[in-house]
Every structure is written in structure tokens, then in C-alpha cells.
A and B are shown apart, each in its own frame.
Chain A
Amino acid sequence: MSGIDLINVVKRFGALTVIDGVDLAIAEGEFVVFVGPSGCGKSTLLRMIAGLEEISDGELRIAGSRMNETPPAKRNIAMVFQSYALYPHMNVERNLGFALETARLPAAEIRERVTKAAKFLKIDHLLDRRPAQLSGGQQQRVAIGRALVRQQKLFLFDEPLSNLDADLRMEMRVEIARIHREVKATTVYVTHDQMEAMTLADRIVVLKDGRIAQVGTPMELYERPANRFVAGFIGSPRMNFLPGMLVREGEESVLSLAGGRHRLSAHDYAGDVSLGIRPEDLILGGGDATLEAEVLLVEPLGGESLVHLNVGDGRSIVAKAQGRPEIRPGATTVVGWNHTRAHLFDKDERALNPRGA
């Protein structure tokens, strides 16, 4: 049992409330990723789990027991920092073994665990080097190795890959996924890279202003965002939003946009809405509902292209098209979508579902 329970957790720095009542249950062995815009409190929440920040209010439980007052060392957590935080005056071997040395394990066992972790991370040829003599990727591996040798049931990562270039990031992402598959430790991982979140997470927690905006599997967040913020945050390029008005007409609801009216199945809500459609769900020249559009720009990305369009009263949206569509900037075209792929949000930005759904 090594799950984590956050129960109405609050963090205040003086008068400033940074984490504002977070409830979350993380199951044993689960890989949970915190994402959110800069300053939303991801690191703070992670550091509260680690014990590096005091918990102002609420309760943290690890494996079922209250941990609020437990010092970090006794929480049985291993943590990897964004800046790697290797000890600069120790070689790789001592860096890896330092926690075990602190715990007064026998030298033979330290050596064995260090060797094993170093092999596992393919850094066994670097054991004699100092951190300054390593590349960024190698330093990152040492930092992960330092967490691994402790054989804890709980891993915390705070943006571990953000100092690496794109290639190394991908490589280390795969590596972290492999480690999690083999070690099966409960993992909490902070990032603002969507790709990392989508590929690594069992569940993603989207944070906004110190509150949870939504928790769910990557596909849940992508397919059924609970609010406009999550809809805009997950997915790249961002979801397109068009303002509109939803009116009940008998057994149907009618959505009026700047460029046309569309009949939908009945919604309980009526009033101002925004319609959200992902670029990949927009269809050039077709769909259940269509709008007139003027082509602004076509950006070819190789296998696919991004088409920037002007619709309605001069609002610009982006559509993703396969290959390279035969249209030129300045031309007028028709852009459409299928109702099942469209998202509606009420004026409080909550997702709307048809009656009965």
C-alpha cells in the first residue's frame, strides 16, 4: 500500500493562497502527472507531498497514514529535481550511494545497489566522473539513479526533462516510462509539456490557480474536457472557440453563431455559450455543420498542414488537414465539423452535454 491521499489540502504563503483546497486520491503504482500554466502551484503541491513545504490546512496521507507532520526523510519518498541537484564535489558513484550511506547501509550492499542502478540506467561507465564532467542527459540519469537506488515506493519528479533538448527529452521520456513499467513505484510527475503528460500519465491532473480543474486519463481529458480551461489547455494546437447563443426550440436546441444557425439535440441550458472544436476535428469543405471561411495562411508541417481561417465576424480559427490542401490564402472555402466532435461550454465555462447524455 503506497497510495497518496490529498484531503482538502491548502497552502498559504502569508496572505497569499497558492493551493486552494485540493482533493485527490492517487492509487498505488499509478503514474499521475500534474500540468497547468506557470505559477498555478504544481511545484508547491509536489513539494507538500515531499515534505519540503508545510501543509497549511487539510491532510496528506501516504499509505493510509497522516503525514502532515512527518519529516521528508521519513516519508519514504525519492525525488528528482529540475536542476538535477547533484552533489558537485562527489563522483557519480558517491552521488548514487549517498542516501544509502546516510542510512548506514553496509558498504557491500551500497555497492551492489549502485552498480545495479547504474547498469539499469546505462551510466555504469561514468561512475568515477564528477557531475561537471557529464552531459545534461547523463546528469539527468544520475539524478534518476539517485532516486532509484533508494528503492522507495514513491517517486516525485519536478519538471525533470525541461533542461534537455528535444531529442534527449524524447529519449528520457521513454526511459522514464520504462522505469515506471519495471519498478512500478507510485509516481507524481510535474511538467508543462503536454506530450510528456499525454504519453506518461495514467491520469492527468490539470491545475489552475491552485485548484484542480479536472482529473482524468489523457483520453478523457482530450475527449471530454470538463471545462473550457482544460479544453484549451490539453491538445496542440489549441482548441478553437467560437462565441454563440443556445436557444431551446421544442425538442431541439438551436446554436446560433456569427456565420449560421445549427440544430442540435436538446440541451437543458439556454443562453450564451462558446463552441469548441479541435483543429483536427475541423473538416475543410464538409461536416454536419458548416461555416463560410476565408483562408488566411497555410502552414505545411510535412505529413499535415495547419490552415488558418477567418470565419464569421473576423474570428480566426485553425484547422488541421492531411497532406497539403489545394487552397491559397485569400480564397473562400467552407469549413465544417461533426456534432459528436464539438464541445459546448456555458457562460461559466463548464462543459454542456445534451439532455440525457
Chain B
Amino acid sequence: MVRSATGRRLHRIAIYGLFAVVALYTLFPFYWMIASSLKSGQAIFDVTFLPDLKFNNYEAILSDGVFLRSLLNSLIVAASVVALSLGLAIAAAYALGRIDFRGRSPIMFLFLAVSMFPQIALLSGLFEMIRWLGLYNTLGSLIFAYMIFTLPFNIWVLTTFMRSLPRQIEEAAIMDGCSPLRIVRCIFLPMMGPALISTGLLAFIASWNEFLFALTFILTDENRTVPVAIALISGSSRYEFPYGAIMAASTIVTVPLIVMALLFQKYIVSGLTAGAVKG
């Protein structure tokens, strides 16, 4: 589009202005969290926008055995959920995306429907299942529960992605003597990299942040995951609420997610749109 010089300048100002508003809106809570985590003691109640750069909250939280333990638990749960739900979703996506069988679309709709149930509606039924499986108060209960919402989504995205891969490539592999397993492993998986990374990352984030199930299915401190552990951080006396420590813990928990999102951002976008456009 052709614009005059002033028009162009106004245009640019407008764009940057809008950008600043959006950035402020989305980033301010994070900034506030980090700034608060760097204040010590009573300073947290003063409304100042610049942090003090005091690290005693971090020292406190990182020497807290229960918190460190919960970090490890979260890592175990999230990593297991990612590995299991990707593995199962790949197998399911191959069947749903590449093999013609009766009842394929009812199954797809079932997955979609399941992923739309509100979490709270599943809670009591899931609780019974977990007790019945003997998983109560173990990390296994959370892995089991989180698959309920990560798996349908992963299957959905990977199936649409797999459908968009050219049929002739699969047929060429068949003519080259590949078994279905080898087709998936050597041909489809490398071509599906972006979709795998984005769905895996979303599953990781969802499991890492989940609160309700983690609160319900875990009884004892040593099995807690991070979101619940943070909520249960208490001060030295019952009259003191440890905002500083909570903010420091939240920061520690958020950083890995941000790092991962930045690392993989290129793939997230291409993976999600590849699924979306062909849907």
C-alpha cells in the first residue's frame, strides 16, 4: 500500500502503541510476580514497581525439601504424561488417519466430546477409578488422570496432521518393503516433528500446571506436585502469609516453561497450524 511519509509514521506509531498495550496487559502479572519475589519481608506490601533484588525468598524456597521434592514430582509426572500420551496418540493417529475401518468418525467425535467435559465433572468418577486401581496418593494417579485431557487433544491434532501427509509417500514406503511400524518410525515421525513438539509441549504445560486433580488425588506432602505445594506453602506463624516465598516458587516453576516455549516456538506455530488448516 502506498502511504505518505506522515501517514507511514502514524501507522508505525499506532502499531507500536497497540503492541505496547498488549505486552503490558499480558506481561505485567509476570513482571509483578518476579518483582515481588525479589523483595524481602514487609517490603512486599509497598507498591513499588522496581524490585529490591533481594534473594532471600529464593534461598528459603530452595532449601525447602518439600518444595524441591514437589518440583521433582512435577517433572516426573509431566514427562511421563508427555511420553505416554505421545506414544499412544501416535499409534491411534496412524490407525485413525491412515487405516480405513468402520466407526472411525464416531471415535473421532468421541475424543472431541471427551476433551470438552469440564474437569470437575470427571472428578468423582475418576476418584473411584483411581482408588480401584490402587493409585490413590501416588504419582501414577496424576499420570493416569492427566492422560484424560492430553490424550484426546493429542490424538486429534496428530490424526489431522497424519492425514495431511501425502498418501503416495506411504505407498512408496510400502513398495520399499516397510512394515507399518517402520513407516511410522522412519517416515511419519520425522515428517511430524513440529506436530509432535507442539502437542508434547502443550501436554507438558497442562500437566505441569494442573491443580484440581493434584489436590484431590494426593494426600501426603512427599507426593505433591508443584502447583499444590505452592498453594500450601505456609509462613513461620499462622498470622504470616508468605507472599515472597510463593512468588519466588512461582517464578522458579514458570521459568522452565518459558524457556521451552521460546526454544520450540517455531515448531509450535507450524505444528498447530498444520493441524488446523487441514482439519
The digit string for B165-184, where 1 denotes a CB below 8 A from any CB of A, is 01011011111111000100
Contact B177 A99 (CB under 8 A): yes
Partner of A102, one of B168, B178, B191: B178
Most central of B166, B176, B186 by chain A CB within 10 Å:
B176
Partner of B177, one of A73, A85, A87, A88: A73
- Please tell me the size bucket of the interface on B: 10 to 19
Contact B191 A89 (CB under 8 A): yes
Interface 9-residue window, one of A16-24, A76-84, A118-126, A254-262:
A76-84
Asked if B190 CB lies within 8 Å of chain A CBs, one says yes
Asked if B187 CB lies within 8 Å of chain A CBs, one says yes
Contact B191 A99 (CB under 8 A): no
B10 to chain A, nearest CB (A): 42
The digit string for B187-219, where 1 denotes a CB below 8 A from any CB of A, is 100110000000000000000000000000000
Asked if A33 CB lies within 8 Å of chain B CBs, one says no
Q: How far is the CA of A181 from the CA of B186 in the complex (A)?
A: 34
Contact B191 A88 (CB under 8 A): yes
Contact B169 A102 (CB under 8 A): no
Q: Which residues of A contact B175 (CB under 8 A)?
A: 50, 52, 72-73, 77-79, 99
Asked if A98 CB lies within 8 Å of chain B CBs, one says yes
Q: Which residues of A contact B176 (CB under 8 A)?
A: 73, 98-99, 102, 146, 150
Contact B174 A82 (CB under 8 A): no
Asked if A103 CB lies within 8 Å of chain B CBs, one says yes
Q: How far is the CA of A50 from the CA of B177 in the complex (A)?
A: 12
Contact B172 A85 (CB under 8 A): yes
Known: A89-B190, A102-B182. A83 touches B168 (CB 8 A): yes
Contact A81 B171 (CB under 8 A): yes
Q: Which residues of B contact A150 (CB under 8 A)?
A: 176
Q: Which residues of A contact B172 (CB under 8 A)?
A: 79, 81, 85-87, 146
Q: How far is the CA of A83 from the CA of B186 in the complex (A)?
A: 20
- By beta carbon, the residue of chain B nearest A50 is B175
Contact A72 B187 (CB under 8 A): no
Q: Which residues of B contact A78 (CB under 8 A)?
A: 175
Contact A52 B177 (CB under 8 A): no
Partner of B174, one of A73, A86, A87, A88: A73
Q: Which residues of B contact A83 (CB under 8 A)?
A: 166, 168
Q: Which residues of B contact A103 (CB under 8 A)?
A: 177
Contact B178 A85 (CB under 8 A): no
Contact A102 B177 (CB under 8 A): yes
Contact B169 A52 (CB under 8 A): no
A145 to chain B, nearest CB (A): 13
Chain A 63-103 residues near chain B, CB threshold 8 A: 72-73, 77-79, 81-83, 85-89, 98-99, 102-103
B192 to chain A, nearest CB (A): 10
Q: Which residues of B contact A98 (CB under 8 A)?
A: 173, 176, 186
The digit string for B26-68, where 1 denotes a CB below 8 A from any CB of A, is 0000000000000000000000000000000000000000000
Q: Which residues of B contact A50 (CB under 8 A)?
A: 175
Q: How far is the CA of A78 from the CA of B174 in the complex (A)?
A: 10
Known: A73-B174, A78-B175, A102-B182. A85 touches B191 (CB 8 A): no
Q: List 29 A-B contacts (CB under 8 A).
A: A50-B175, A72-B174, A72-B175, A73-B175, A73-B176, A73-B177, A73-B178, A77-B175, A78-B175, A79-B171, A81-B171, A81-B172, A82-B168, A83-B168, A85-B166, A85-B169, A85-B172, A86-B169, A87-B172, A87-B187, A88-B169, A88-B191, A89-B191, A98-B173, A98-B176, A98-B186, A99-B176, A102-B177, A146-B172
Given contacts A78-B175, A99-B175, 20 further A-B contacts (CB under 8 A): A52-B175, A72-B174, A73-B174, A73-B176, A73-B177, A73-B178, A77-B175, A79-B172, A79-B175, A81-B168, A82-B168, A83-B166, A87-B187, A88-B169, A88-B191, A98-B173, A98-B186, A99-B176, A102-B178, A146-B172
4 closest Cβ pairs, A-B complex = A99-B176, A85-B168, A73-B177, A85-B172
Q: A-side interface residues toward B, CB under 8 Å?
A: 50, 52, 72-73, 77-79, 81-83, 85-89, 98-99, 102-103, 146, 150
